Amino acid sequence: MFGLIPKEEKFFAMFRDMSHNIIEGAQLLKDMLDNFDDPVASQRKIKEVEHKGDTITHDIIKKLNKSFITPFDREDIYALSAALDDILDLIDASAQRFVMYNVEKPTPESKELAFLILKSCQTIDKTVALLGGKLEPISAYCIEVNALENEADRVCREAISRLFDEEKDPIQLIKWKEIYETLETATDKCEDAANILESVVVKNA
């Protein structure tokens, strides 16, 4: 059994706050696409969550700069906070594109990608919850995030392939290609965070 040095446990709580906030943003994005009644209002709520995430990230960095002893490597704390912040930035960027491009109706593929983003964020949250305790299960969760990213990559590729086969309007093609790629990039960012968490496990084994 192994764990992280139980010093400055406030970091663990702050990372948990951040991962809970990310789930809130991912759930709002999924709800936005499932019930596309008022995308502008939905995007506004996501932006508020993204602002809260920026504040938590800022607080983590501020605490890191003031802490003499940290529970794991300083560069990993910085990298993890940045990676988690990136996930929320991409969730917000995805929501923005539906509003900016005046999308009338989400496609089944965009809804599936939003579902995969939420699943990835929920898995990241389970991983972050283990910081400060037994780290062994983290590797299994990281594998799960990787599998979800691979699935999102497949959905995105097939969606773009279908666009080029079926979409005759070049403007619509450009819009939807960017939307699909932005949604898929959110799962890439989840994988980045998972890789950092797995690195923490290896270093603290």
Q: What is the pLDDT of residue 2?
A: 41
CA–CA gap between residue 188 and residue 170 (Å, rounded) = 27
Give the pLDDT score at 63: 87
User: Cα–Cα distances in Å, from 99 out to 32, 41, 182?
Assistant: 11, 10, 14
Domain ranges of the chain: 7-204
Give the pLDDT of the chain (205 residues) as one tens digit per residue: 344 444 556 888 999 999 999 999 999 999 999 999 999 999 999 999 999 999 999 999 998 888 777 777 788 889 999 999 999 999 999 999 999 999 999 999 999 999 999 999 999 999 999 887 777 888 899 999 999 999 999 999 999 999 999 999 999 999 999 999 999 999 999 999 999 999 888 887 6
Q: What is the CATH number of domain 7-204?
A: 1.20.58.220
- pLDDT at residue 1, rounded to an integer: 38
What is the reported pLDDT for 41?
97
Contact 15, 131 (CB under 8 A): yes
SS3 helix, strand, coil % of the chain, rounded to 5? 80, 0, 20
pLDDT for 4:
44
